[in-house]
Amino acid sequence: MGSRSERASPPLRLLVEAGLLAASGAAVLLDSRGYPPSLTEGAPGPAFFPRLLAVLLIASAAWLAIRAWRKGSGAARSRGNAASDSAAGGRAGTRIRPLGVWIAVTWIAAFLLVWPLLGTVLSVPLLVVGLMWLTGERSWRTLVSVPLAFAGFIYLVFMVLLGVPLPAGF
């Protein structure tokens, strides 16, 4: 999703964004058709709230699209907003490498797949070393020592000391 936004010109990017949101709302409406009615007459059933939210989401998406249409410069402003987002400490707007993001997501997903097979002690260092490389670590000494030390920490603290049942592998 992050990379998709890169090539498009600002208003188009916002339109795609609005389209995605509206599609999510539509999917919720579609899903809610299968919900059973309320067990009590007069009281709203399980479909009421999701439908309300979906309609509001579609309306918001429409507003977003209209706004984007009306002033093409809207995108620039929305980028500025990310920086002001206090909660996430977001700092959007810098140039990004979409490929790096996709590789990182794939790497984490691959970790989740092999975790049960290889076990925690073997797979966690692989995850760490890959993410370190992707976030720019290039010192060989660090790339080797940190994942190993971390695996030891996880093993000792989580598995031995606390007895958390993490996947042990094969």
Partner 1 sequence: MESQAPIASSLRPRTAALSRTGKPPSQPSLPRLLVAAFALLASAACSPRADDAAFPNRPIEIVSWATPGGPSDLLSRALADVAPAHFDGQRVNVMTRQGGAGAAGMQYMQGRAGDPHVLGVFTASGTVNMATGRIPFAPEDFTPILRIQIDPFLVAVRDDSPFRTLGDLFEAAHARPGEVSVSGFGAASAHFLGFVRLRAAAGDPDIRWIAYEGSADAVVAALGGHTDAAHTNYNIVREHLRAGTMRVLGTAMPVEALPDTPSYADQGYDLQPVHWRGVVGPPGLDAGTRADIRARLMAAIDDPGFREYMERAALEYATMEDAEAFGAWMTEEVTTSRDLLQRLGILDG
Partner 2 sequence: MTAFLDGLLTALQPGNLAALLAGSLLGVFAGAMPGLSSTVGLALVLPVTFALDPTPALLMMVSIYMAAEYGGSITAIAIGVPGSSPALATTFDGYAMTRRGEAGRALGISLFSSMSGGILGTILLVLALGPLSRAAIAFGPAEYFGLGVFGLSIVANLVGRDPLKGIISALLGLLFFIVGLDVLTGAPRLTLGTNMLMDGLGLVPMLIGFFAIAEALKAAAGGRKATAPGGGITGALPRARELFGLWRTILRGSAIGGLIGAIPGAGATIASIVAWNEERRVSKDRERFGTGVPAGIAAPEAANNSCVGAAMIPLLALGIPGSASAAVLLGGLTVQGVAPGPLLMAERAELVYALYAGFLVAVLLMLAVGRLGIPLWTRVVRLRPSILMPLVVAISLVGVFALRGNAADAWVALFFGVVGFAMLRAGYPLAPAVLGLILGPMIETNYRRALTLSSGSHTIFLESPISLVLLALAVVSFAAPAVRNRIISGKRQAKEPQ
Name the residues that contact partner 1, by CB under 8 A.
36, 39-40, 113, 115-118, 163, 165, 167-170
Q: How far is the CB of 43 from partner 2 (least distance, A)?
A: 4
- Name the residue nearer to partner 1 (CB basis): 87 or 109: 109
Nearest by Cα to 6 from 98, 99, 83: 98
The option from partner 2, partner 1, none interacting with 81 (CB < 5 to 8 A, set by class) reads: partner 2
Residue tagged 């599609």 (tokens): 23
Q: How far is the CB of 155 from partner 1 (least distance, A)?
A: 12
Pick the binder of partner 2 from 19, 23, 72, 77 (CB under 8 A). 77
- Rounded to the nearest angstrom, the gap between the alpha carbon of residue 44 and the centroid of all alpha carbons in its chain is 32
Q: Is 40 left (phi over 0), alpha (psi -120 to 50) or beta?
A: beta
Helix axis angle, 48-70 to 10-32, nearest 10°: 160
Does 152 contact partner 2 by CB under 8 A? no
Residues from 89 through 128 that contact partner 2 (CB under 8 A): 89-92, 94, 96-98, 100-101, 103-105, 108-109, 111-112, 115-116, 120, 124, 127-128
Task: Report the alpha-carbon distance of residue 130 to residue 140 in Å, rounded.
Answer: 12
Residue ranges in 24-63 that form contacts with partner 2 under rule CB under 8 A: 24, 28, 31-32, 35-36, 38-46, 48-50, 53-54, 56-57, 60-61, 63
**Min. distance of Cβ 75 from partner 2 in angstroms?**
9
Interacting partner of 77 out of partner 2, partner 1, none (Cβ under 5 to 8 A depending on kind): partner 2
Report the C-alpha gap between 157 and 155 in whole angstroms.
Answer: 6
Distance CA 144, CA 27 (A): 46
- Written as six digits, the tokens of 104 are 């990182």
For residue 145, give the DSSP letter: H
Is 68 a binder of partner 2 (CB under 8 A)?
Answer: no
DSSP, collapsed to helix, strand or coil, labels residue 34 as coil
